[in-house]
Structure 1
């Protein structure tokens, strides 16, 4: 029998069934679509949300899609990982994934992967479906844009490429997260339900 124990949103015990949902959200945002959609409610700053389930070991994957709102230099979205202590407020310098944390973020508007306010590496900009694979045992993370893993030779199924996790996040629960920003209040991001992902790599479990 599988026993589940909840601790600040962290579930220990295995690959639970059920959809990937936004659990905690920042100001200026609401959830819908059964908890899988994060939507802006004002036109200023970022709205950030994270999953209910945290992971501290193993190979995990999630996918998200920009379901509404523009993507461009003045607006966009970001996906990544954060910890339970992540500030989910609307102040970009304090709440944007990858700018505070420790957290990681893959930005739509410039393709950069951020960690703790630093631009780590540059990938491609994105406007639709993106994904994140993380091996919390091997301490590596990968992002894809429409199924193309960022950076030549990267392939989480084989462990090739990717980005090494910072030691500050080792063995600590990490949460799937998204942030949205736009001049339109309708800016939205959706978590893709487990089993409906298009690009989950072999050997990884749905978040």
Structure 2
């Protein structure tokens, strides 16, 4: 079976015609993805291929922001950048970054179609961002990581395994700060917010006076 190669495209750098075509494809990906998420949530017993959509449901609000191709164009007019993962004529993932300070980029989202998980697409998107950062003088990339998959990606790239869960607690959100140098990159700061313990507290009992 022949598989078309997967390429990463810097949307902002394309000609107007090619950019318009990819913007419409990105819009369709956002719409189709939100529909799949809603179906998955309505069917708790869905097979694994569909259940994956529940795992990325936390980004549905962001995808809803891409409610029309003009919304994406407006983001780009604000000097925000999109890197798109493409296979053939199909958009299968993207990452969206924006300047935060003169030296810092903020990663708004990295999304890969669940049918393409495990193919290193998220890593390819991030390496494209690192290349953009170096070329334009950015030395730091920050982003909120809200899923186990995003944590796994950054752990794998930085080769610094960390434990994000504690007994009786669950992960809410964390922020990675990645320092970018010409020679490479590394996680330099990690902040994790953890929800209150899920385990019920033991009821207090009064000691009987002797």
TM-score using structure 1 length:
0.29
Q: Which has the larger radius of gyration?
A: 2
Q: More strand by proportion, 1 or 2?
A: 1
Which protein is richer in helix relative to its size?
Answer: 2
